[in-house]
């Protein structure tokens, strides 16, 4: 069965960076786009960007351009999201979510989600 398992909670100081991992299993990792979504406490869902695990290409929401980097390791079927220059308002639960098949040119919604990783930014 498809599973996305994320790394554990992190506590970081303002100005630091955090790197969250998402390990996929139960399907062919390089066949599906992966997105990152975050949710601040008591707030809504915010899409951060997308990575193509096959070629590694990425696209980031304008809000996060210059601060976020998404990468993948095909040998371990893992995607990573690194956010730098952390501020207190980056405190949130960060999710990875699987979306469309890469080689089928039809958009698709998120069908599987990771369990979420709480990142707390505090001095």
Radius of gyration of the chain (CA): 14
For another protein, which is the closer residue by CB, 15 or 43?
A: 43
Of the candidate spans 16-24, 41-49, 74-82, 83-91, the one that interacts with another protein by CB under 8 A turns out to be 41-49
Return all residues near 45 (Cβ < 8 A) that are at least 6 apart. 37, 38, 39
Q: Pseudo-torsion of CA 5, 7, 10, 14, nearest 10°?
A: -100
Size of the site for another protein (CB under 8 A): 25
Q: Is 53 in the site for another protein (CB under 8 A)?
A: no
Subset of 91-110 contacting another protein (CB under 8 A): 95, 97, 99-100, 107-110
């Amino acid at each position: 069965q498809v599973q996305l398992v994320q790394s554990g909670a992190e506590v970081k100081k303002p100005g630091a960076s955090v790197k969250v991992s998402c390990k996929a299993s139960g399907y062919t990792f390089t066949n599906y786009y992966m997105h990152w979504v975050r949710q601040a406490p008591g707030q809504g869902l915010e899409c951060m960007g997308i990575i193509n695990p096959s070629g590694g290409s990425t696209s980031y929401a304008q809000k996060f351009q210059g601060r976020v980097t998404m990468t993948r390791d095909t040998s371990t079927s893992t995607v990573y999201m690194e956010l730098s220059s952390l501020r207190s308002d980056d405190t949130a639960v960060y999710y990875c979510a699987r979306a469309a098949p890469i080689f089928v040119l039809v958009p698709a919604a998120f069908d599987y989600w990771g369990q979420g990783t709480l990142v707390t930014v505090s001095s």
